[in-house]
Amino acid sequence: MGGDHAPAHEVAGAVRASQALRTEGVEHSLVLVGDPACIERELVRYRPVPDTIAIEPARDVVAMDDDPAAVIRTKPDSSLVRGLELHRTNLVDAFVSAGNTGAVLSAATLLLGRIAGVSRPTIGAFFPTIGNKPCLVLDVGANAEVKPQFLYQFAVMGSLYAELIGGIEKPRVGLLNIGEEATKGTETVRQAYAMLQASTLNFIGNVEGRDIFRGAADVVVCDGFTGNVVLKFAESILPMLKAVLERFSRRNAVTRLAVGLFAPMLRRALADFDYQKYGGVPLLGVRGTVIIGHGKSSSLAIANMILRAWEMHRLRLGEQIERALLQPAPSQNSA
- Would you state the pLDDT for residue 3? 85
Task: Tell me which of 22-36, 113-127, 321-335 is least confident.
Answer: 321-335
- Measured CA to CA, the distance from residue 138 to residue 225 in angstroms comes to 10
Residue 130 class from Cβ within 10 Å (0-12 exposed, 13-18 middle, 19+ buried)?
exposed
Backbone phi and psi for residue 15, each to the nearest 5 degrees, phi listed first: -65, -45
For residue 275, pLDDT over 70 is answered with: no
| CB 62, CB 43: distance < 8 Å | no
Residue 259 identity (one-letter amino acid)? V
Q: What is the mean pLDDT of residues 303-330?
A: 91
| CB 158, CB 174: distance < 8 Å | no
- Would you state the pLDDT for residue 128? 87
Cα 110 to the center of its chain, rounded Å? 19
| CB 115, CB 284: distance < 8 Å | no
Average pLDDT, whole number, for the chain?
90
Residue 313 identity (one-letter amino acid)? H
- Measured CA to CA, the distance from residue 119 to residue 146 in angstroms comes to 10
- Measured CA to CA, the distance from residue 210 to residue 327 in angstroms comes to 33
Cα 85 to the center of its chain, rounded Å? 21
Percent of the chain with pLDDT over 90: 69
> What is the band of 335 on the pLDDT scale with cuts at 50, 70, 90?
very low
Backbone phi and psi for residue 141, each to the nearest 5 degrees, phi listed first: 150, -10
- Measured CA to CA, the distance from residue 334 to residue 150 in angstroms comes to 16
- Would you state the pLDDT for residue 268? 65
Tell me the pLDDT tens digit for each residue of 213-246: 999 999 999 999 999 999 888 888 878 877 887 8
Q: Is CATH 3.40.718.10 the right assignment for the domain spanning 8-325?
A: yes
What ranges do the domains of the chain cover? 8-325
Q: What is the mean pLDDT of residues 122-128?
A: 91
